[in-house]
Amino acid sequence: MSLLLDALTREKIVAIFRGIGREEADGAARALAAGGIRLMEVTLNTDGALPILARWREQLDGQAHVGAGTVLDERMAREAVAAGAEFLISPNLDEAVVEYGASRGVSVWPGVMTPTEIVRAWKAGAEAVKIFPMASLGHRYLQELKAPLNHIPMLATGGVDLDNIGDYLRAGAAAVGLGSKLVQLELARQGRFEEMERRAAAFVAAVRAAEAGG
C-alpha cells in the first residue's frame, strides 16, 4: 500500500477546493488542516490552481497531503506534478494519466461509474477509484458495487454531507470526497476561517463515530 493510499483509507476525507480565490485559498486550507483534514485537492479548472497547489505543498508540509483534481489528461497531470501534486484525481478514466502517475510514484484515483470502468481502471494500475457522481447514484449503489469488487478501494464523491457520511462509509467507501459541503466558499471569502475549522472538525468527528459503529 502506498503512502497516499494509506493516508486516504486512514483519514477517509478528501477536501475539494473548486473555484476558490487565490487570496482565500491559503487561509481556508490552513483552517481545514487545523480542523483535522489531511488530504486536500484543488481542481485544475480553478483559476490559479497550479500556484495554489505549489504554495500548499510548502505551507502544509507535514500537516496535509495536497493534490490536483479535475485532471483530464496527461498534459494536465504533468503540470500538476510539476507544481507539487502528491496525488491526482479525475472525473474520468484516462489510462495515460494512471500510467504517468505510476511512472512518477504519484497516486492516481480516476473517476468511474460502472463495474466495467472500475475494473479497467484497476487493471491500468489505479490503486483506488473515485465513484462519481454519487449524488445521483447514492450509497446503495456503492454497496452493490462493493459486493463483487470489494478488493478495489473506492472514493465516494458527490452528495456526501455531514448527515449521510456514515452511510457511505458503512456501504464500503474507503473514503469520501467533499466539496461545497466542507469547503464553503462564502465563509472563506468573508474570512470566517474559524467556522471552516469547526466544520472540518465536525466531519472528522463524524468519520470517527462511523468507524466506532455510531
- How confident is the model over 121-170, as pLDDT tens digits? 999 999 999 999 999 999 999 999 999 999 999 999 999 999 999 999 99
The predicted model gives 26-49 an average pLDDT of 98
58 noted as active-site residue: no
pLDDT at 214: 64
Q: How far is CA 212 from the centre of its chain?
A: 22
**Across 6-17, average pLDDT:** 98
Q: Do 174 and 10 touch, CB atoms closer than 8 A?
A: no
pTM of the model: 0.97
Closest to 129 (Cα-Cα) out of 165, 158, 154, 148: 154
Mean pLDDT of 169-198: 98
Map out the domains of the chain as residue ranges: 3-211
| Residue 146: active-site member | no
From the candidates 41, 86, 127, 197, which is the catalytic residue? 41
Q: What mean pLDDT, rounded, does the chain reach?
A: 97
Q: Is 16 helix (H, G, I), strand (E, B) or coil?
A: strand
Catalytic residue chosen out of the listed positions 86, 127, 130, 197: 130
213 pLDDT more than 90: no
| Protein fold of 3-211 | TIM Barrel (3.20.20)
Q: Cell numbers for 9, please give them.
A: 483509507
**pLDDT for res 1:** 79
